[in-house]
A and B are shown apart, each in its own frame.
Chain A
Amino acid sequence: MTAETFLPWIPVFPLLGFLVNGLLYLVAHSKLGGKDAPLGAHGHGDAHGAGHAASHGGHDDHGAGHGGHGAHPDIPFKAVHTWVGPIASGLSFVFALLAILSWWKETGGHHEIVATLWTWIPMGVNGGWFGSPEFSVDVAFRLDPLSALMLGFVTFIGTLIHVYSVGYMGHDEGYGKFFAYLNLFMFAMLTLVLGANLAILFVGWEGVGLCSYLLIGYYHTKDFAADAGKKAFVMNRIGDAGFLMGLFACVAMFGTVDFGKMFGAAAASPGVYAAGGLMTFACLALFVGATGKSAQIPLFVWLPDAMAGPTPVSALIHAATMVTAGVYMVARCNVFFRISHEWALKTLGENPTVWGLLTHDASFVVAVVGGITAFVAATIGLAQTDIKKVLAYSTVSQLGYMFLGCGVLAFGAGMFHVFTHAWFKACLFLGSGSVIHALSGEQEMTAMGGLRKKIPHTYRTMLISTLAIAGVPGLAGFFSKDLILGETFLQGHPVLWVLAALTAGLTAFYMFRLVKMTFFGEYRGPKETWDHVHESPATMTVPLWILAIGAIVVGWVGIPNFVLPGGNRFEAFLHPSFPALPPDWTPHPHEVSHALEWALMLGSVAIAGVGILLATKFFYPGSAPYALPAKVVAAFPNAYRWVRNKYFVDEFYEAVFVNGLVKKGGRLLWEIDARVVDGLVNGTRHLTVGFSHVSNWFDKTFVDGAVNGVGDSFQAAYKGYGKLQTGQTQNYAFGMAAGVFALVCIYIIFA
């Protein structure tokens, strides 16, 4: 068996799982399902959720009917959903492993392999479309180091989260629907990762967007969840418009969207494609798409709202996999960004201005947007009290890091952070889900505290992941974050480095604030909830531990090269995905002293340490756990108000785009509509009426004439021939006899 044979099967299993789960759910909930349909169960969820939404809007509404509140809903086909959902995902993981192993055996990881299934869009076979002999898009899957990496952790973490969902969603009457969506998401994500051209990638891209929308709005009877779903969808649509423009730019440049052909052509003659800034335009357009999917400024506001979905969804889609799709896409198109960077340097000359770089160098834009997003999101994370909101802003911030890494052309570092982040962020989200599960749906950290004894597994795993994300040496987050920070400085972006280093401190601070407020000190919630607190079932704690162990060990594949020569196996593995450009398009390697690199690393560790220490000081258990934070808030009330309210970005968008553009712009559009469009319409009407008179006359005279003429001629013919049909058998017999007579005569005369 070769890798090509395994590849197409990888997305097929989740698709099958989606069909089985979805159809069974439909059967159970259609009118055909009869008495089994748990329609009555809806009332219970609604009634419970309503009070919930009123007290803290934006929650995932987990735990309605949990923890002894009322009976569990009767879920039809529960056993089938329980097995099909995780196994579909698990089979994907197995086949992904098989594919990667046989690919490794065949190529040693040096070349990509492409499995082409069929031609999807054949076009202009002999035509001159876009200056190329033909344009066609194949349904093809590509396995190279980049997609192998994504494939591995997407299927593995996805499977863990499926298993976790068995426990977490066990009391939800939409159990089957949930697994159907989760399977569909896996299918779309694997299509995105495996796609061998931008068009297939875009199919998966839209697919994950759809699933994200469906799962954010999972509790669709609540307004906040439905709104959050729509918000995510609209934000992603804005990004997708950019993606499409990038895709069209690629078609215009290369006449193909196939990765191998595009990158090959671009790497062979970068100057041709970079000329005139078309490459930069394509990169920026693609990056707009990435800001939508990966929640970067300015399209980041949907991600925190996306926490309205169930927590496993937050972990799978909005932390570990889907939101990294933007980073993956940018890393996938690394050739374009590198060319854009070099073109900008060639065009701008020796000392480029920041403005010049922003308008010419797409990778610089990526770096700046990533750096600013990382910082801004981290500051917002400082003041949030909803446990999932903190993690959501942390995700936005970490995604910013990844873009920063890609933006300074350290694509390997960016992807390394994608990889490590997937482990500890999935673990943190699932841990927060476990906390919420234990507290019967409570998400406000102000109503938590002292939980470490009650739910020890959750506490330990979350602590490990917090240490990892904070950048404590030896854990996964340290290696990747340090690599990005180091590269940022060494590639000559000291300002961005300062921003990123500050962000690292902030990250350590707000993450330890989360741990302190949740697990330490005195419990601050209602007593009856406390009495129900219990550790989650094994289906939830086992995935937590697996992810926590991952958060400890996965970083060791990328030991910095200055610590251990050749230690960064991760970048060596990814290297074939970053094809070489001609020498004059390749930046000169910097000569850096080891001392500087060590200093940078120790600096980032020190900053993380300061963050942790401050958090410990601020939130140390005591009689008044909020005395010090309250003082700080009192000292900087305005800063706190801005941060607490997320810099009023939502309100800004509401005022400018929703009210300003849609409503005021709507008035303008109405005027245009009334005068110009209606004028055009009315003019067209008069023209049409006049023309229709002519047309009518023509119709009456010629068309009707022809039609009636045919009819008349047949009628006349009937009048003649009709007389032959007398109904007298003897007349017909006479005809026969006469015919025979005539034939005999002919025979006699001519034979």
Chain B
Amino acid sequence: MITLAHFVGLSFVLFTIGVVGVLVRRNLLTVLMSIELMLNAVNINLVAFSRQLGDLTGQVFSIFVIAVAAGEAAIGLAIIISLYRLKSSVNLDDAAEMKG
């Protein structure tokens, strides 16, 4: 039997992996994928609680999240391409112009 706790646990693990990925990886593509992980962890949470509580709102909301995530991925990838054209690199350490 897969209980709510399993979903929440999976969600937590995925989210943590996402957060750590965002914070520690230097490759922008990986960072973007980590963000997708975090969004999907949230989606799992939403769907799980939707089923548990018998309220469809959570599932509808997760659809929205997926749509927004698609947009985010498209824009993010476009930014990465621009950055690559500018710096010939997708390493985050190279995009540190704002250093004080």
Identify the A interface with B (CB < 8 A).
Answer: 722, 724-730, 733-734, 737
Contacts and interface: CB of A to CB of B under 8 A. Distances in A.
Interface stretch (B3-11, B43-51, B64-72, B89-97): B89-97
B98 A725 contact: yes
B23 A725 contact: no
B96 A727 contact: yes
Nearest to B99: A727
Nearest to B26: A730
Contact of A730 (B22, B97, B98, B99): B22
B37 to A, nearest CB: 14
B23 A737 contact: yes
B100 interface: yes
A729 B93 CA distance: 9
A733 B95 CA distance: 15
B80 interface: no
Nearest to B100: A725
B73 interface: no
B98 A727 contact: yes
Given A722-B100, A725-B98, A727-B100, 7 more contacts: A724-B100, A726-B96, A728-B99, A730-B23, A730-B92, A733-B23, A737-B23
B19 interface: yes
Top 5 nearest A-B pairs (CB, nearest first) are: A727-B99, A725-B100, A727-B96, A727-B98, A722-B100
Contact of B23 (A722, A726, A727, A734): A734
24 contacts: A722-B100, A724-B100, A725-B98, A725-B99, A725-B100, A726-B96, A726-B99, A726-B100, A727-B96, A727-B97, A727-B98, A728-B92, A728-B93, A728-B96, A728-B99, A729-B92, A729-B95, A730-B22, A730-B24, A730-B31, A730-B92, A733-B23, A734-B23, A737-B19
Contacts of A737: 19, 23
B24 to A, nearest CB: 8
Contacts of A728: 92-93, 96, 99
Contacts of A729: 92, 95
A442 to B, nearest CB: 91
Contacts of B31: 730
A733 B92 CA distance: 13
Contacts, number: 29
A520 to B, nearest CB: 105
A722 B95 CA distance: 18
A38 B92 CA distance: 77
Interface residues of B, number: 13
A150 B92 CA distance: 93
Contacts of A734: 23
Nearest to B25: A730
A457 to B, nearest CB: 95
Q: At the interface, is chain A mostly helix, strand, loop or mixed? A: helix
Nearest to A724: B100
A61 B92 CA distance: 92
Contacts of A726: 96, 99-100
A207 to B, nearest CB: 67
A227 to B, nearest CB: 75
A726 B24 CA distance: 15
A722 B100 CA distance: 6
Interface in B8-45: 19, 22-24, 31
Nearest to A741: B19
B93 A733 contact: no
Nearest to B97: A727
Contacts of B95: 729
Contacts of B22: 730, 733
A126 to B, nearest CB: 58
Contacts of A733: 22-23
The listed residue with most B CB atoms (<10 A of its CB), out of A725, A728, A734, is A728
Contacts of A730: 22-24, 31, 92
Contacts of B99: 725-728
B21 to A, nearest CB: 10
Nearest to A722: B100
A727 B96 CA distance: 4
A197 B93 CA distance: 84
A630 B98 CA distance: 108
A737 B22 CA distance: 10
Contacts of B97: 727
A733 B93 CA distance: 14
Nearest to A729: B92
Contacts of A727: 96-100
A722 B99 CA distance: 9
A399 to B, nearest CB: 86
Contacts of B100: 722, 724-727
Nearest to A731: B23
A742 to B, nearest CB: 14
Nearest to B28: A729
A402 B26 CA distance: 107
Nearest to A728: B96
A604 B29 CA distance: 123
A728 B96 CA distance: 5
A241 B24 CA distance: 90
A46 B92 CA distance: 86
A214 to B, nearest CB: 68
B67 to A, nearest CB: 24
Contacts of B96: 726-728
A730 to B, nearest CB: 6
Nearest to A738: B23
A383 to B, nearest CB: 96
A724 B98 CA distance: 11
Contacts of B93: 728
B59 to A, nearest CB: 26
A546 to B, nearest CB: 89
A358 B5 CA distance: 120
B80 to A, nearest CB: 13
B89 to A, nearest CB: 14
A701 to B, nearest CB: 34
A733 B99 CA distance: 15
Nearest to A732: B98
B93 to A, nearest CB: 7
A668 to B, nearest CB: 73
B35 to A, nearest CB: 10
Nearest to A721: B100
A726 B96 CA distance: 7
A737 B38 CA distance: 13
Contacts of B24: 730
B90 to A, nearest CB: 13
B11 to A, nearest CB: 15
A734 B22 CA distance: 9
A486 B98 CA distance: 103
Nearest to B98: A727
A726 B23 CA distance: 14
Contacts of B92: 728-730
A727 B93 CA distance: 9
Contacts of A722: 100
Contacts of A725: 98-100
A725 B19 CA distance: 21
Nearest to B95: A729
A729 B26 CA distance: 10
A730 B100 CA distance: 15
A728 B97 CA distance: 9
Contacts of B23: 730, 733-734, 737
